[in-house]
Amino acid sequence: MSRILVDFDRCEGHGLCEQTAPEVFRLDDEGELHLTREEVAPEDERAVAAAVRVCPVAALKVRP
């Protein structure tokens, strides 16, 4: 199963990841990113890959 890696220093809280994969990514009231889980479930692979692509500051990665 793949794992989501977040560079929290790069994350600017744009929220595109949350819009793309809300079952995995969540922004709190201060704009801080939180993961609902670090491992990517097979049913979430496409949404997580799309979230990685839309991140404007390249703060997200998926590793096997």
Q: What average pLDDT score do residues 26-34 get? A: 97
- Residue-level pLDDT at 34: 98
Q: Which domains does the chain have, with CATH numbers?
A: 3-63 (3.30.70.20)
Question: What pTM value is reported for the model?
Answer: 0.93
pLDDT tens for 39-49 read 999 999 999 99
State how far the Cα of 43 lies from the Cα of 25, in Å rounded to an integer.
15
